[in-house]
Structure 1
Amino acid sequence: MKKDISYPIKESFYSIQGEGFYYGIAAYFIRFGGCNIKCDWCDTKESWNIEKKDFISIHKIISNVVNNNHKIKTVIITGGEPTMWNLFPLIEKLKKKKYRIHIETSGSYPIKEKYVDWITISPKKIKLPIQENYKKINELKIIISDENDFLFAEEQASYIKSTNCFLFLQPEWNNISWILPKIVSYIKKNPKWRISLQIHKILNIP
């Protein structure tokens, strides 16, 4: 009998997407363990390290989604850095169940976009996205923690040739009171950008 593939899953839950283009929609989140970047300001540092107990079979992952709520339409695969792992077997099975698949990634690993409906790349200076991934992106999300990040945002946006990619600036949560007015001012001067707020934190939900 063929052994079921397992993945390191730190948590999975049904909630509201709080960021980016699809903010406000109900979605089931699957958070993968493991990260190759480990940002100082990361708000999910618990996802960095992987333990043996974290590994869950594809069968169990799918079962958790199906049994959570029959009205689930969208599954968001996030991390950590989910593209460290071969996601294709999981995504293929989720698509057979008719779920819409979104991936949130730094873009630092190759993205196999088959069956993926929406790709959000949030680049990090410490390890930039693979150039090929800029061709696959639907949404670019830059975390702004200081004024130098605006230059980084423009540099990253310059690599994207598609006119169908949405550009977002998101304040780093710990600096939000200081940096948010600067983001608003910047977007007013550069209206190709949109603002992304972590609505789930404002609502105090997962």
Structure 2
Amino acid sequence: MANIVEIFPSLQGEGLYAGVSTLFIRFSGCNLNCSYCDTEDAREKRERFTVTKEDGSLLEFLNPVTPEKLVEILRENYDFTYFPQLALTGGEPLLHASFLKEFLPKLSYPGEVLLETNGTLPDKLNEVLNSVDIISQDFKLKPFIAEDCFTLHREFLQEASRKKVYVKMVISPEVQDSEFNGAINEIALVNSKIPLILQPVMPINYSLDFLFQKQKMALKKLWDVRIIPQVHKLLQLK
């Protein structure tokens, strides 16, 4: 069984697939504590979770939920035709890896399943790798997080690269060049053709030259480096 925060339809707002019509399942709980987190309410377990239907109406269901019940909820309330992607997000969805391993084959989603993860649980990834299509892996930098995640990120990315994968990296002027270059080297060691999305901390109240310089630095080692802000925030979407 798993603890859910919410299920809702929206546009993908981050990363390589920004703008894609997406059905989101937000799981509760996280193993990290990032200073820029915009889903802090997903850290704690809830007695109930909400389901936002396509017409905007809300339903509530009890936590925790079984794989069978979650499949039933999704099939009864959404037409998958209109959502090319199903996004597993959080919190950190891989804290529910055993649940996902059972749930995803039962759901048999007709589109692509996108896993959004902080990239620090490589062992958990192995449990669900065969059931997801795309992996969006965060690469955490200081000063946004106290832990040094570089080794875990590299191990995770090595496993994730067996699927379609891209890396998201939140940046602001507080990020030191040494930290940034170290992260770029880790990605390049796995595969220099893995796309990197530089995601500026919002609001962008600093010079865009900073972003362009970081992009140029990354392009010395990587083939595909894009600057993509959080589109859902720009459009004032969920």
| Structure holding more helix per residue | 2
Q: Which of 204, 211, 226 is 1:194 aligned to?
A: 226
Residue of structure 1 equivalent to 2:202 = 173
The 3 A distance-change label for structure 1 pair 33 and 23 is same
Larger displacement relative to structure 2 (132-141 or 52-61): 52-61
Partner residue in 2 for 1:3: none
Displacement, 1:18? 0.9
Structure 2, unmatched stretches of 5+, are 49-62
Q: CA deviation at 1:123?
A: 2.4
TM-score, scaled to structure 1: 0.85
* Deviations 1:140-161, CA, capped at 9 Å, x for gaps: 1111133425543432232232
Distance 1:80 1:97 in 2: 22
Q: What residue in structure 1 maps to residue 79 of structure 2?
A: 69
User: What is the CA–CA distance in structure 2 between the aligned matches of 1:69 and 1:52, rounded to whole Å?
Assistant: 27
- Report the Cα distance in structure 1 between the residues aligned to 2:105 and 2:67, rounded to whole angstroms: 11
Cα distance 1:179–1:123, how it changes in 2: closer, same or farther (>3 A)? farther
Which residue does 2:156 correspond to in 1?
Answer: 133
Shift of residue 190, structure 1, vs aligned partner: 4.2
More deviation, 11-20/184-193: 184-193
* Identity within the alignment, %: 29
Task: Tell me the TM-score normalized by structure 2.
Answer: 0.75
Q: 1:91 aligns with which of 92, 104, 110?
A: 104
Which residue in 2 is equivalent to 1:204?
A: 236
Structure 1 residues 28-177: aligned runs within 5 Å = 28-53=23-48, 54-66=63-75, 67-71=77-81, 72-86=83-97, 87-94=100-107, 96-110=108-122, 111-112=125-126, 113-124=129-140, 125=145, 126=147, 128=149, 129-135=152-158, 136-137=160-161, 138-148=165-175, 150-160=177-187, 161-174=190-203, 176-177=204-205
CA RMSD of aligned residues (A): 2.1
Cα distance, 1:199 vs. partner? 0.5
Q: Deviations along 1:23-44, whole A, 9 cap, x unmatched?
A: 1100111111001112122110
5+ long unaligned stretches in structure 1: 1-5
